[in-house]
Amino acid sequence: MDGLDQASDATVVRNTADPLGYDTSDSEAAARKMADDALSGVNEDGVDAELESVRKAFGRQKEHAVAASYETDFYQWTQEQAALLRALPAERGLDIENLAQEIEAAGRQAVSQLSGNLRMILTNLVQLSGSAGVVGLPTEAMSAQSEAMFAKEQGVDRHVNLQAVWKLAQRQEATALEEHGYELPLLPETCPLPLDQLLVTIST
């Protein structure tokens, strides 16, 4: 039983082939051999080749991550690209700071445009809620809905404050109604529809 207990408590080490050809069945001996060879320059070419393969693998993963970010989160992609530009060493003829600012501005513009389109959609929904016999949205609101759906596909909606847009839409419509002698109908404090449902509701 004691032998079984000791065996069960022992750490199991599974040996795998070392890319530089070291015998790793005795890990301590292998580590000493690697250290001695590193100090003496043995296997230097093999180490360089192994490091290069790691760099290439990391580069492919990084490229994939950047591409995915562009497709699924455009705003975040612009911020990351601007940061990468600023990390570059100064190069003659390359205006790094202005380029970075332009890229950042593209991300902010995408968020601002989506917020504006959502505000137009919500404002028109408020109008419909207080207008008996009126069905459907005007052409400009339908166009805004289409643009909002496209921006959502790029992940821009993750950076939009829908609650703030809802409050702004209410204020805008309240002002418009007051100019014509009407009052804003009683509306919920928070936006009654999440973005996903809002776009589905508008498009159907």
Sketch the domain layout of the chain as residue ranges.
104-203
Q: Is the pLDDT of residue 135 over 60?
A: no
pLDDT of residue 176: 80
Q: Is the pLDDT of residue 90 over 70?
A: yes
Residue 126 main-chain phi, psi, to 5 deg: -65, -40
pLDDT of residue 48: 66
pLDDT of residue 47: 61
Dihedral-angle region of residue 16 (phi above 0 means left; psi in -120 to 50 means alpha; beta otherwise): beta
Rg from Cα positions in the chain? 30
What does pTM read for this prediction?
0.60
